[in-house]
Structure formats: structure tokens, C-alpha cells
Structure 1
Amino acid sequence: MKKLRVSLATEKKIKKGQLLLEKKDFPHLDLDHQLVDLMDQRGQFLARAYLSPQNKGVGWVFAKQALDLDVAFFRALFEQAKAKRQSYRDDAGTTAYRLFNQEGDGFAGFSVDLYGDYALFSWYNLFVFEQREKISQAFRAVFPEVLGAYEKIRFKGPAYESAHLYGQAAPESFTILENGIRYSVFLNDGLMTGIFLDQHDVRASLSQGLATGKRVLNMFSYTAAFSVAAAMGGALETTSVDLAKRSRDLSQAHFLENGLSLDHHQFVVMDVFAYFKYAKRHGLVYDLIILDPPSFARNKKETFSVAKDYHRLIAQALDILAEGGLIVASTNAANLSRQKFKKELDKGFAGVKYHFLVEWGLPADFTYNKKDESSNYLKVFTIKVNQ
């Protein structure tokens, strides 16, 4: 086992409970995809970790003692994770949620989601991907009720995005329940599944009163899951806007699953900034506008970054928001703190009076490391605008 002595700053970080190892912690590191023991400034054992670069950092701490990564280790983690989610298992109205959430459940680098009778593993770096047989064996022992599993390989590129992992094959598309609402999902088609599970508390707020009697605009709508929740919650009408042509058919599938007529629900394939201009030009007004952009996006004309450009969304939303209307502002950018996101929102309001009604983070099934703010990456605010 390779031993690495860490700097005093890194030692303090680990002792505080932060688990992500970054390039600045090892400026001259020439190792990857292996277990290491981290030693403090005195040469004493500090923690066991693995090194494997991914979209953030170069590795993760996973234990403060010398534990082996065997089937028993992962089985114990899965048993603890299953016990934490007893309330979800008891809820007949929800059949899709996160079963294991990286460092929040004791081991970063992969997550597991449940979609009905099927599990979906997401692998975020090569080291953990190489442990998948042990992880899969442990998972099957703890979750024998799961009929089959798929994997999303999120670090190799588009040629390796999705594959069947074990057990029974899932239908090409099938229905899951969330808060009693039906959604059409798919597990073996690229990196997406048709719904983002980390938003189910926000969708619940829409279906349980927030959208009642309102005209709703859903920007960056993907498959319009927010719109469906709003419609089931009594919205007068919904408009879902996304640049991807495929989004229209996927969105309509959710509505049809719930027996909703499409008469008062529109699906627009258009750049959101172009739609803002279109709506303003045509005098369209909305009571509730949902803004949930990707952290970074690029089209033929421009790029969009949540950290630098979110204020533009707020400013243009205000032009078509009804008096006393609501904005649901959301981001999953882990590199943007809650405080900085609020500053970006305030920049967009530019003196217009507003106040926060509700603040959301990750739901209970997405357990996170409470000693590391970036682990709770989801930031959603329901905002009342006092125009």
C-alpha cells in the first residue's frame, strides 16, 4: 500500500470531515487508480483513500482506519443505506428514488438509483468502475428484490454511456411513480433517464398546491417533469421550453401517462433566451416561471454559465412575470455556493423587491456529507416577486 504524507492544510481538511482530494492537495502526484494510506505531518496514519481523477478532484477519503475494499465492506454500506430509506420503501406512491449517494453513504465515486424494479448504477471514475463486480455482488445480497440493473459510465465519453449490468432486462421505456404521479423513464439510452430524481421534493411542492390555478412556464424543461407535476397540481396551463427536439415527445409521454389532455399544455423547441424575447413581443404573461438550467450550455450563438449568467434569466423572466408572481430558481452547480447563487439572483432582480418563500437542498434520499457544503449541490429557491 502506497503511503502519502499530506500537507498540514490537507490534514486539517480531512480531520474536519471533508473527503474530496484535490490537485492542490498533491501538486506533484504521479499516481492514479489505486488505494493509498494518507499520513499526517508526523508520519502517523490519517486515513485510507483511493486516487482516481474524475470531474472533480483526484480521489476520495473513505475510511479513518485501514479497511479493505471487499464485498463485506460494500455490503455493510448498502445495509446502512437501505435502512436510511425505509420511509421511501414504505411509500406506495413513490417507486423511484436514490438508494446510495456517494460520499453521503460512505463511499464516493458511484451512486445507485431505483426505478421501479430496476437499479441504475452511475460510475464516476475508473477506480470505482473496476470495483463494480464486488459492488454488484454486495448490492444483490442486500437488495434481492431488484430484478435487474443498468450502469451509466460517466467518465469514458459517449461511446460507453449505458449498458445492462445484471439480471432481467427492463422494457425500453416503463412507468415509475413519484408522489403518486406517473412518469415514463428509460434506462438504456444514453446518460439520461427521463427524470432527475433529486428534484422530487420540488415537484411535490408543484403538485401539492404551488401551481394551483397558475399559468406556468418551465424553461430548460428537458422532459417537462416540473410541468407534469404542475398540471397534476391544478395549473391552468403549462408551457415547456427546451432546445432539444427530442424533448417534445418525451415530455408528452409524461402527460399521457397521467391521462392529461394536451389542450392547455404547450411544448416549445426553442432556445430559452429566444423564447423570452418571443413571449415579451407577444404579450405573454406567466404566474409561475421555473428556471432550472444546466450548469453550462452552449448553442451556435453563445454559451451559458450558471455562475456568470443566471442573473440574465431572472432579469428576462421579470419581463413576462405576472404581478405578484413566483419564480422557482434552481441550480445543481456544485462549484457555486448557496451564498454566491443568492448574489447572482439578487443581481438579476436589480432592485425589484422579492423574498424567499422556500429554500430547497437535496432530498432525504440523496444523503450528503454535512461537513462539506459542496456535497449538498442542489440549490432551489421559491421566490415571491413584489413588483
Structure 2
Amino acid sequence: MKKEVIFKVKGKFVNKYKSGYPLISKEAILNLNEAVEEGTIIRLVDEKNKFIAKGYFGKQNKGYGWVLSRSENEQIDQRFFLNKMRDAIKYREPFYNSTDTNAFRIVNGEGDGLGGLTIEYFDGYYLINWYSKGIYHFRDYIINALKELTKFKAIYHKKRFDVSGKYIEDDDFVTGERGTFPIIVKENGVDFAVYLNESAMVGVFLDQRDVRRKIRDAYADGKNVLNTFSYTGAFSVFAALGGAIKTTSVDVANRSLSKTIEQFRLNGLDIESQDIIVEDVFNYFKYAVKKQLRFDMVILDPPSFARSKKMVFSGEKDYKNLLKEAIAITKDQGIIVASANSSSFNMNKFKSFIDQAFKETNRTYQLVDEFSLPKDFKSIKEFSEGNYLKVVFIKNLP
């Protein structure tokens, strides 16, 4: 076993780590050594060398590693990961027993005490996302634990430990029997085509499960719906199944067209009554204003950061202006589903963007529904950044 490396925590951060904060951050460490090998076990101590916690060193866009244990004598070995993952799987037992949903998250990073790692389940297939070389160092322990604890068809993985969090192209297959893709999974009774062998994006973002169901069950009936940043059209599919008279899906990625058509057809929906547009969303807003298009519902689910040829979009900096664009094409009494997945601001800050946007457009509004992460995306109160998802249903009042 490698020798553990000691990191001294600055005095003003000691109580934060003792209280359960999991991210090993640059500003908290007195003697940070960025040359430490990824996966090295780190002992966090105070300035009097008193033990606080232990974790691993792993550079990620968020920091320099994660706390794994607050027990000084606990070994970070096969048994450790087996116990952590057993607890995580037990917590998701209701999802395993569901008859209408078979796609969900079974390990959610620091929420399950395993920062830098997520694992998702897709109808017997498991997908591991590694977000640092540090956690990837423990891959044999983690894969062995998954093999011991679950009945699986196959295990796939994605290496996302480029310093910017990007996906590293590789053979995604780990073990089991290679799947024939797409595999068809269910979410609240709706079918989705999922590809575990392509890019980092597999076909559906599982964290929006509750929001999609709410749109279908309570908001879509009889509505003309615009779905922006639509990816594979998941929101549009749920809206159409909920009785929307028409959906318009807009995304700049060329692949969004074929992927959205695929999801509609899977669910027996008529493609001819839907619009699927490959276009920069901001250009589409201008087009909609010019053509005086108005929608009963506008869904805004942008990436937290995006770069196009003409602009850079940052959720924290630009969301207010995005909302103003949406307000301009939403009918009176219409609904804007505003979603943000940035960990850099909280729900209160997000609501302040909403308030500013409506004030600057001389409109009034009512907040009618609110969502954060679903239960399988477990988070902890000591790391509020981990509960990143903020979704608000806003009624555009006349």
C-alpha cells in the first residue's frame, strides 16, 4: 500500500471538515502539493496534527480530492467500497422494485460518500462515470463490489477525468455481455433509447425524471410546447404523451434531430405533428419574436456552460437574459419551466434571476411548482453544491 500523505487544514476550515464537508479544496490546505500521485490516500489533520478525516487525492474541476472516511483506522480497501456501495444500493431498493421505471442512479458521488464517482442503472446494465484519475485508481475495488452486489447484464464506464470534466474516448465496455444498442429503458412508463457505447451522453438525463412526469401529468394537456436545449427531446416526448397539441424541440446539435425522432417513434407518437429544429436556441428566440410565435409552455434546460461560434453561455451570468427571451414568446397565463443545473448558485439566487427578468420585462409572475434532485440523486446537507438542480414552474401573468 502506498504511503499516506498528510495535508494540513487551515484553522478556519477545520470545523467545516469535522462537520462533514467532503471536498478537499485548494484554499483549505496549508501544504497542498499538486504533484501528489492521483489516488494517493490523504490524511487531513489540523495545525496540531490532530486527525480530521482521510480521503484520496484526485484533481477534478471542483477540487483536489474527496473525503472518504472520518475514522482514523479505517482502511480504504475492497471491504470499504463494498460496504459503501451496499448501502447505496439498499437506499435505491424502491427503484429496483418499480414496475414503470428501470433507469436510475445507484451511486451519486459525495451523496453516497464516494466523491468523484457516479453509477447508473439501465435495465440490468450499469454505467460508471469516473470524474478523476484519483477515483479511477480504485476501479478494481469498485467494479468488484458492483459485480458482487448486483445481478448485471453488463457493466460499462465513461472516463470523464480530463481536467475540464470532458469525456475521454475509450472502449466503454467493462464486463458481462456486450449490449445491443440502443437498449430500451422505461421512465414512469415512457420508453427511452439509451446508448452506453457512444459519447458521454447516453440519451436521457435521469435527474429530470420528476419534472418530466409533472409536465406530462399536470401541465401539457392541450398546450403548444417549446422545448429549448432539447437534446434527445425527452421533455417533448412527455409533453406529447400528456396531451400537448404540438411540441417544438430546438437544439444546436445535429444529432438532436435523429435522436429526438427515435424517442418519439419509440413511444408511438406522430412525428409529423411535431417540429424538431436544429438551430442555436438564441437564434430561434429571435426568429420566434419576428414571426410573432407564442407558446403555452416554454421549457428552458440549458447546460450550465456552453460555447457557440457567436457567444459563451454561463448559467450564473446569463440565465436572467435567457428568461427574458422566453418571457417574450410565452402567452399570458403560460408556463415557463426554468431549469438550472449549475452548482455555483442556489435556489434563492435562481429565484432572484427570475424576479429580475420579470421586472425588467414589466411582467408579473407566479411560482407554481418547484423541484430539486430526485431521491436517487442523494445529496448531503454539508455539501449544498451537490444538490445542483433547480427547477421552477413559472406562470406568466398578464
Q: TM-score range by the shorter chain?
A: over 0.9
Q: Deviations over 1:116-162 (max 9, x none)?
A: 1200000000111111111100111111x211011010013554355
Of the three residues 7, 10, 14, the one matched with 1:7 is: 10
Give the distance between the partners of 1:354 and 1:161, measured in 2 at CA. Answer: 47
Structure 1 residues 47-66: aligned runs within 5 Å: 47-66=53-72
Other-structure match for 1:373: 384
The list of structure 1 runs, each at least 4 consecutive aligned residues, that deviate by more than 6 angstroms after superposition, is: none
What amino acid maps onto 1:208 in structure 2?
D
Per-residue deviation at 1:197? 0.5
Separation in 1 of the partners of 2:167 and 2:49?
43
Aligned residue pairs, count:
386
The aligned runs of 1:173-184 (5 Å cut-off) are 173-184=182-193
Q: Give 2:89's match in structure 1, choosing from 68, 82, 89.
A: 82
Aligned partner of 1:202 among 211, 215, 219: 211
1: distance between equivalents of 2:236 and 2:289? 21
* % identity of equivalent residues: 38
1:102 aligns to 2:112 (yes or no): no
Structure 2 length-normalised TM: 0.94
Listed as ranges, the matches of 1:131-210 within 5 Å are 131-143=138-150, 145-156=151-162, 157-160=166-169, 163-210=172-219
CA distance in 2 between counterparts of 1:163 and 1:208 reads: 36
2:48 counterpart of 1:42: yes
- Kept in 2: contact 1:224–1:240 (CA 8 A): yes
CA shift in 2, pair 1:37/1:158, >3 Å: closer
Contact (CA 8 Å) 1:154, 1:161: kept in 2 or not? Answer: no
Kindly provide the CA deviation profile for residues 242-277 of structure 1, in whole angstroms up to 9, marking residues without a partner as x: 001110000011100001111221100111111111
Distance 2:115 2:167 in 1: 22
Partners of 1:43 and 1:110 in 2: how far apart? 29
> How many angstroms apart in 2 are the aligned matches of 1:159 and 1:129?
13
Deviation at 1:107, TM superposition (A): 1.3
1:247-262 to structure 2, matched below 5 A, reads 247-262=256-271
- Find the aligned partners of 1:176 and 1:162 in 2 and give their Cα distance: 22
SS of residue in 1 equivalent to 2:332: strand
Tell me, yes or no, if structure 1 residue 217 matches structure 2 residue 226.
yes
1:129 aligned residue: 136
* TM-score, scaled relative to structure 1: 0.97
In 2, distance between residues paired with 1:100 and 1:327? 31
2:15 is the alignment partner of 1:16: no
SS at match of 1:223: coil
Q: Name which of structure 1's ranges 35-44 and 84-93 shifts more when overlaid on structure 2.
A: 35-44
- Counterpart of 1:69 in structure 2 is 76
2:277 corresponds to: 268
Aligned CA RMSD, in angstroms, stands at 1.3
* Partners of 2:189 and 2:152 in 1: CA distance: 21
Partner amino acid for 2:99? A
Contact 2:161 2:167 in 1 (8 A): no
Give unmatched runs, 5+ long, in structure 1: none
Q: Which residue of 2 aligns with 1:337?
A: 346
Q: Partner of 2:209: helix, strand, or coil?
A: helix
In 2, the alpha carbon distance for the partners of 1:158 and 1:112 equals 15
Cα deviation, 1:94-131, whole Å, max 9, x if unaligned, reads: 01000111111111111100011200000000111111
